[in-house]
Amino acid sequence: MKTGKTLFDLTGKVCLVTGANRGLGRAIAIGLAEAGGDVVVACRDPVGGAAVAREIEARGRRALAVPCDIGRWPDIDALVSTIYEHFGRCDVLVNNAGIAHDLLPIANVDEAMFDRFFQVNTKGPMHLASLVAQRMAQGGGGSIVNIVTFGAVKAGGFLSMYCASKAAMRSLSRVMAEEWAPQGIRVNAIAPGPFRTDMLEGLAEGTDGFMEYTIQTTVLKRIAEPEEIVGPVVFLASEASSFVTGQTLAVCGGGLSL
């Protein structure tokens, strides 16, 4: 059992992060590397993915950029095969890739939009977690962290597909935790509040007053910087959280207590 500073040490661990080319995913990938992990940068953007892989290698860790559209199961199958061919193991999965939409009434949601949100925010991450968990089980266990949203816990008006698809993923996280505990796999969700990324800027561009509104949903009265997600992810990825599973950690500036 590790103690003290080594509790958060990920040396020798192989960590897979989806959507790691930008935003929270990039911060998480670099943060896991700084905690000692080798990192698989899974993303659709080969240029951005290669750049993040270079940033990780510059920190003395191994990195591998692998193309993957999380909405396509064949891509996910290929991603997992590539990781095991290259590293022979995967100890940490961070299901980070996700999509949001501008505020819109439920009446404007069509079937294609419904399917797209569940495909990217729920089905793909579930399939990836399932494939990785089967391999983790053979290797003695691991940790899975699913990035959902504050809105998965406290759904907000006009974000129906985003909140519902992420709430489903939060629910699946709880089920996964129970199913896979006997194999030594812990599964937790993180529910971020507002973080300064392209996603939040996009929502703000589409809606007057959105940034001020979202700041007011927090107790700390500010937007977080992407690097502020790293501590909670490293905690859940590492032995520091060895007795934590099936939980949703709200990283939202106190928003849920409002």
Ligand X SMILES: NC(=O)c1ccc[n+]([C@@H]2O[C@H](COP(=O)([O-])OP(=O)(O)OC[C@H]3O[C@@H](n4cnc5c(N)ncnc54)[C@H](OP(=O)(O)O)[C@@H]3O)[C@@H](O)[C@H]2O)c1
Select 100 or 161, whichever has its Cβ closest to ligand X.
100
What sections of the chain are H helices per DSSP? 23-34, 46-57, 73-86, 111-118, 124-138, 150-153, 160-180, 198-206, 210-216, 230-237
Select from 93, 199, 230, 250 the one that contacts ligand X (CB under 6 A): 199
- Interface with ligand X, residue 24, by CB under 6 A: yes
Select from 9, 44, 211, 244 the one that contacts ligand X (CB under 6 A): 44
Select from 143, 149, 165, 238 the one that contacts ligand X (CB under 6 A): 149
User: Cα(231)–Cα(106) distance, rounded to whole angstroms?
Assistant: 35
To the nearest 10 degrees (0 to 180), the angle between helices 73-86 and 124-138 is 30
Single out the residue of 9, 187, 226 nearest to residue 93, CA to CA.
187
- Amino acid identity of residue 9, one-letter, is D
Task: Identify residues 109-148 at the interface with ligand X (CB under 6 A).
Answer: 120, 147
To the nearest 10 degrees (0 to 180), the angle between helices 111-118 and 160-180 is 40
Least distance to ligand X, CB of residue 119, Å? 8
Name the active-site residue from 117, 118, 162, 195: 162
Select from 10, 15, 16, 22 the one that contacts ligand X (CB under 6 A): 22
Q: Which sequence positions are flagged as catalytic?
A: 162
Residues making contact with ligand X (CB under 6 A): 18-19, 21-25, 43-45, 68-71, 96-100, 120, 147, 149-150, 192, 194-195, 197-200
